[in-house]
Amino acid sequence: MLLHFVVALHCEAAPIIEFYKLKSIHNTLPQVYRNESVCLVVTGIGGLACASAVGYLAGLLKSDKCGVWINIGIAGHQQFSRGTVCLVRKVTELATGKAIYPSLPFSTRIPRADCFYVDRAEVQFNENGLYEMESFAFFKAAWRFCTIDYVHSIKVVSDNRLETAGQITHSIISSLVGSQLEMVDRNLVVPLCCIVENLRSETSQFDIELYTDKWHFSETNRLRLSRILRQFAALSDNQLPNIEDYKHCNKATEFLNDVESNLQCREIRLI
């Protein structure tokens, strides 16, 4: 799975489900939606719910290290007006003072802001930053499953000192999130997914059946096989070792050692 969305509320999820044309997977709790390359989990409110939903989604879809994870949700702010969208650049857990720092591997037009993670709804907004209840836990959980650089959090301001959270309805939340999606897709989702897809294309698996039919490979040797085949292809105009040249090998390790020594004798060609 390439892209994972993590949202707390159904009303935040609704516009994302529509935008990416996701379908519900039945019988899952928390509720999960997906298409071929994008999925979304509705976590419920709070850090604990968020962290466990991230773990659940990663397990359910067997997500690998190279997936993009994005948390989208509403937040409060002292002065930012309702509807302002921000990419989180630092999250501080107010209770402990601990902070974490997302790493953005490109420039973006999305404004960036600090964020404070609290365990109950905030009305004072004493610090100059976004206030919300999931992102700290989201980052910590998602970093366990993928590369730090691919995990980000987007917040849309729903309330401030003048426009309180009490005045907000589900449909307002949906439209606040929905109105920013195209911009978030263009300036965050697409560039992140491009980076990941480019890297994935380099590590795409070769057809190893030819070799696994002939020899028995343990799990470790399968990994070694993939690496060696990639290296062989890199040095041989994308050709793979001809099985006929190695028919004297009785075991997988003999074959791997032989191919490896063959590679070590090569000279590389720089162009």
Evaluate whether 25 touches 33 at the Cβ level (below 8 Å).
yes
128 binds another protein (CB under 8 A): no
Residue partners of 222: CB distance under 8 A and separation at least 6: 208, 212
Selected from 107, 124, 169, 242, the binder of another protein by CB under 8 A is 107
Question: Which token pair is 72?
Answer: 């989208």
Stretch that binds another protein, among 67-75, 105-113, 130-138, 168-176 (CB under 8 A): 105-113
253 binds another protein (CB under 8 A): no
Evaluate whether 87 touches 188 at the Cβ level (below 8 Å).
yes
Q: Could you tell me which residues are beta bridge partners of residue 76? A: 131, 159
52 binds another protein (CB under 8 A): no
What is the distance between the alpha carbons of residues 29 and 220, in angstroms, rounded to a whole number? 35
Question: Which token pair is 56?
Answer: 């659940």
Residue among 265, 205, 202 at smallest CA distance from 240:
205
- Closer residue to another protein in complex, CB, 165/190: 190
- Closer residue to another protein in complex, CB, 114/185: 114
Selected from 205, 239, 242, 264, the binder of another protein by CB under 8 A is 264
Selected from 48, 95, 123, 148, the binder of another protein by CB under 8 A is 148
What is the distance between the alpha carbons of residues 191 and 58, in angstroms, rounded to a whole number? 22
240 binds another protein (CB under 8 A): no
269 binds another protein (CB under 8 A): yes
Provide the terminal-to-terminal Cα distance of the chain, rounded to the nearest Å.
36
String of contacts with another protein for each residue 218-237, x by CB under 8 A: ---------x--xx-xxx--
Residues in touch with another protein (CB under 8 A):
89-90, 99-101, 103-107, 112, 114, 143, 146-149, 195, 199, 202-203, 227, 230-231, 233-235, 263-271
